[in-house]
Amino acid sequence: MNGRRVVVTGMGVVSSLGNDVNKFWNNLVNGISKVDMIKYGFNIDDYPDLMTKFAAEAEPIETDDFHSDKKMIRRFDPFIKYAVYATHYAMIQAGLKDSIAPYEDIRSGVVLASGIGGMHTLMREHSVLQADGPRRVSPFFIPMQIVNMSSGVIGIEYGMRGPNYSVVTACASATHAIGTAYRHIKFNDADLMITGGSEATVNPLSIAGFNNIRALSTNNSNPKSASRPFDKTRDGFVLADGAGVVILEEYEHAKKRGAEILAEIVGYGFTCDSHHITAPLADGSMAARSMSLAIEDCGINKEQVQYINAHGTSTPIGDKGETLAIKNVFGDYAYKLKVNSTKSIAGHSLGATGGIELIATIMSIRNKQLHPTINLHEADPDCDLDYVPNTAIDYNIEYALSNSFGFGGHNASILIKKI
C-alpha cells in the first residue's frame, strides 16, 4: 500500500490478431482466431502427421521504420524485432517517440522478458556450424540469441540508462517483468519503464519439444478450434509468436507532461509451486497465493475484483488448477467473477503472453467489454466458473487481475485499476 502510483501510458503489440492495438482488440472482442496451418515458421509438408502443424503465427512486419538502424534490423532475431516494433508504437501512444532527450538519464529503464529468446538465430547458426564449420558462424550469433538483448537494444535506441535487464520464467516471464518494472517505479528507482515480453518460437524444434511433452493440441483438422480453455475436450495449447509492450510511468510524472493515462497498476504478486518442472500444483494453492498477494499489495477487498484474465492455456491440468486457485482465493464469490482466456483466440505466446494479456485486460477496462473465451462448447465439470463463453459481453470493470503461470512452478499476478 506504500509507494508511488504507477500508470500505463502506452501499449504496443505484435500478434496473429494484428500488429496494432486496435486491430488486435477488434479481432479479440469479436472472437476471430487467426490460428492456421504454419506458413512462415517452417515447411510442414515433411513434418509427421501426428505432430502439430498449426500455430498462431505473428502477422508479418512489413516496415523498417520502427528502429533508427535499418542495417541492424536485418540482423535482429524475430523475438528482438517484435519487441522493438511493439516498443516503437507504445512510445508513440505515450507521446514519447519525438521526445527522447528528456529520458536519456538514469530515471528511465527497460525490463523485457522472453521465455526462450533467439531460437531462430540458434537454429540457423547451428546449421551453419554443421555445414560449413566454426569460422562461418556469424559474429552476431551471441548478441542476437541471448534473451537480454531485447532490453539492451531498446535501452540503446532510447538512451535509457536506468534499470535494464530481462526476466526468464517461462510463460510467467512477461508478467514478472511488468511486476518488477512496476516495483522499480513504485519504490523510486525510476520514473519511466518500458516493459513486457516477446517470443518467436514457431519452428520445428519448439513444436517437437512441446509435442513430446504432450503440451500442444494436435487438432490439425480444425486449428481454429484447437485452443479450447476450460472445455471438457481440451487437449493442449496452441503455440503463438508475438510481443506485448507497455510504458509504465509514475503518476505525477505522466500528469506533468500531459500524457493520456490508460490504466493504473496497483498490485503484483508472485510465488513458486516448488513442485514439478512442468506440472502445476493440482490444488492451485500457490497460484492462489499469487493472486492474493497482488490484492494485498493494493489493499482492497477481494470482492472488489470483478474480472480475471486467466492464464487459461487449454491444458487439462492447468485449467483445472487455475479454476481451483480462483475458488481458493475468492470462495463463493468466485462464481460472481467474470473469467476469460485470451489464449483461446490469440494462442499462447509463452514468455510474451503476460504483456499481450495485460494489453487485452486494459482494453477490456477501457472499452467496458469482455472478449469471449471461444471454443467453449462442452463444459468441464471441474471448470465451472463464468468464462464468458463464445460471445463478448458489455461489462464495467473497476479492478481486474491478469494471471501468468510457467514451467518450473512460476506464478505471477498483476492487479489493474480503471482510471
Catalytic positions: 171, 311, 348
DSSP-derived pairing of the beta strands 242-250 and 164-167: unpaired
Asked whether 246 and 195 are in contact (CB, 8 A), the reply is yes
What's the chain's length in residues? 419
* CA pair distance 292, 300, nearest whole angstrom: 10
Coil, strand or helix at 414: strand
Instruction: Compute the distance between CA of residue 403 and CA of residue 268 in angstroms, rounded to an integer.
Output: 10
Q: For residue 361, what are the CA distances in angstroms to 242, 315, 320, 341, 366? A: 17, 22, 22, 10, 9
For 305, the 3-state DSSP assignment is: coil
The label of the residue with cell 485452443 reads 227
Angle at 166 between CA 160 and CA 170, to 5 degrees: 155
β-pair partners for 311: none
Distance CA 71, CA 119 (A): 21
Phi, psi for residue 78 in degrees, rounded to 5? -55, -35
Which single residue is written with the C-alpha cell 493504473? 264
